[in-house]
Chain A
Amino acid sequence: MGIKLDRLDKVFQTDDLTVQALRDVSAEIGDSEFVSIIGPSGCGKSTLLRLVSGLLPPTQGTVYLDGTPVEGPAGNIGFVFQAPTLLKWRTVFRNVMFPYEVLASQRKATGSKEDYEDRARMLLKMAGLEDFPDAYPKQLSGGMQQRVSICRALIHDPELLLMDEPFGALDEFTRERMNEELLRIWRETRKTVIFVTHHIPEAVFLSDRILVMSPRPGTILGEVVVDLPRPRIAEMRESVEFLEQVVATRHLIGIRPGDDSLSPDFSSPLKDGSG
């Protein structure tokens, strides 16, 4: 699914407060592209995802999905949040099936319940959860719960996957493993992914392209085209090319070692890879 963000503005207005969350955000994301949005907390990354999904209307500008302007929730989008946000009273399998039930309630389900159930089993297998369809969320670890929520986001075969800091709550080891698993799932399903994070190495490892956003009001400062071969494997995290991309992204955000007053003479041994 191709996405076009056309000069998006988002202003939140309450009785005594006006917050400009996004200003003049424009971008294009190609079909099957994996794009990360990175930036400091409060730069409107999550708001941007809500505009794309049609949960929130932009104050100005338009989101186009495959050339069609978004005017409300479309139903063909998968959402993964920072918390697994599972329904605690449902088993893993029935959590994964939840989007089917929502779509069926609107007669929007494409296919029979059995088709979705087959797909749920396939996704659980892909996520390494085939032994836990009847487990309840609290019986699983945080990483496993997040994998369930990724399966749930894919059950209705959406063309677009929106991920809002999905691994932000996990420890570093689990996060790296989940990154690899996500890439494997992405390779097999070829969804368009918009991945919000503030973890630079994660963004570099996963993405085709990284959009860097500024603090409030969120604008797009620039982009880094991640020039690393695919498939990406764990060892790449230690390659010079990988670190160069990380540094380039850091510089674009405005993090420079020279700004650190404690080590004024420290200079990067790596060349600036931006541009």
Chain B
Amino acid sequence: MSTTLSDPARAEAGAPMPSRRTEQIRRFSDPILFAALFVFGWQAFVWISGFHPVVLPPPARVFRILANQGDFLVENMLVTMRTIVWGFVIGGLLGFVAGVLINYFERFRRAVYPILVALYVIPKAVFIPLFILWWGVGPLYKILVTVLLAFFPVTENTITGLQGVDREMMELTQSLGGRRWFAFRKVALPFSLPFILAGLRIGLTEAFIGGVLSEILVPSTGIGSRIVEAAAFSNTEFIIASIMVVASFGIAAYFLFLWIEKRLTFWQ
């Protein structure tokens, strides 16, 4: 709930009412303050525990890596991002198409559903050796892992969304002689768009998992590979710095998507 100046509960409690401006500043200052607190706690823990820097490096060391080798890390992350974006786009598109076909074509649903459910319940990692065997450890294998992970949430949500389309609105369109394709574009698709976008948002986070995980399993290029290398040298601060880079890109992508989602479903 949003707080307004006339919020009676607050006024009665005698609590000071933050102005709109203060509220806006806090939206950004709160997470920053918490992050600062976290870093301070981390430093304090390093002092108190006396852990060796290999086990737990102090934040300063991690920041030094970010400062000195940030370019290198971002460069590698951008390689990984290519896998993530391709996997997300292909997986999302296939997931959407599969969801639409399953929802509208009974024979298609009957035919593919058992296989899809099987693929869904099997831990996706079991396919990795098979993919490597078939396509080697190049970008194709990584994209396929990512596609496989991004696919299902989109399919699932597309079906859920299309199932919830107002039946009477479809009847109305039909009663005026509207064709199925028209009803799909003008009614069913916008109706289920919030669900589809939510599915894509989950698919996006899955794509991040796929992109990094495929590199960690078979290191060659990308940030995941750099993490594995650093682990071999017990370069803990480098690993933590890499994780921070992945996290930054993940957060940026997530919020960018959320922003687009809000604008596309403005009526929600």
Q: Decide whether A and B assemble into one complex.
A: yes
Residues of A within 8 A of B (CB): 50, 53-55, 73-75, 77, 79, 81, 83, 85, 87-89, 98-99, 101-103, 105-106, 108, 136, 138, 156
Q: Which of B142-193 contact A (CB under 8 A)?
A: 166, 168-169, 171-179, 182, 186-187, 190-191
For window 169-219 of chain B, which residues contact chain A by CB distance below 8 Å?
169, 171-179, 182, 186-187, 190-191
Query: Once the chains bind, are A55 and B171 in contact (CB under 8 Å)?
Result: yes
**Residue among A106, A136, A156 making CB contact with B267, cutoff 8 Å:** A136
B266 at the binding interface (Cβ < 8 Å): yes
| Cβ-neighbour of A75 out of B177, B179, B265, B267 (below 8 A) | B177
Contacts of A53 in B (CB 8 A): 175
Q: Is the interface of A mostly helix, strand, loop or mixed?
A: loop
The answer to whether A103 and B177 touch across the interface, beta carbons within 8 angstroms, is yes
Cβ-defined partner of B169 (8 Å) among A75, A85, A138, A156: A85
| Chain B residue nearest to A56 in the complex (CB) | B171
Contact A77 B187 (CB under 8 A): no
5 contacts between A and B (CB under 8 A): A75-B175, A75-B176, A89-B265, A102-B182, A106-B178
A77 x B177 contact (CB < 8 A): no
Number of A-B contacts (CB under 8 A): 60
Contact of A73 among B169, B176, B186, B266 (CB under 8 A): B176
Write out the residue numbers on chain A whose beta carbons fall within 8 Å of the beta carbon of B176.
Answer: 73, 75, 99, 102-103, 106, 156
A157 to B177, CA, bound (A): 15
Tell me the B244-268 residues at the A interface (CB within 8 Å): 265-267
Q: How far is the CB of B164 from chain A (nearest CB, A)?
A: 13
Give chain B residues whose Cβ lies under 8 Å from the Cβ of A136: 267
Enumerate chain B residues within 8 angstroms of A156, measured Cβ to Cβ: 176
A114 CA to B208 CA in the complex, in Å? 50
**Supplied contacts A73-B175, A74-B177, A79-B175, 10 more A-B pairs, CB within 8 Å:** A75-B175, A77-B175, A81-B168, A81-B172, A87-B169, A87-B187, A89-B266, A102-B178, A106-B176, A106-B179
Distance between Cα atoms of A98 and B171 in the complex (Å): 13
- Proximity string of chain B (104-129) to chain A, C-beta cutoff 8 Å, 1 when within and 0 when not: 00000000000000000000000000
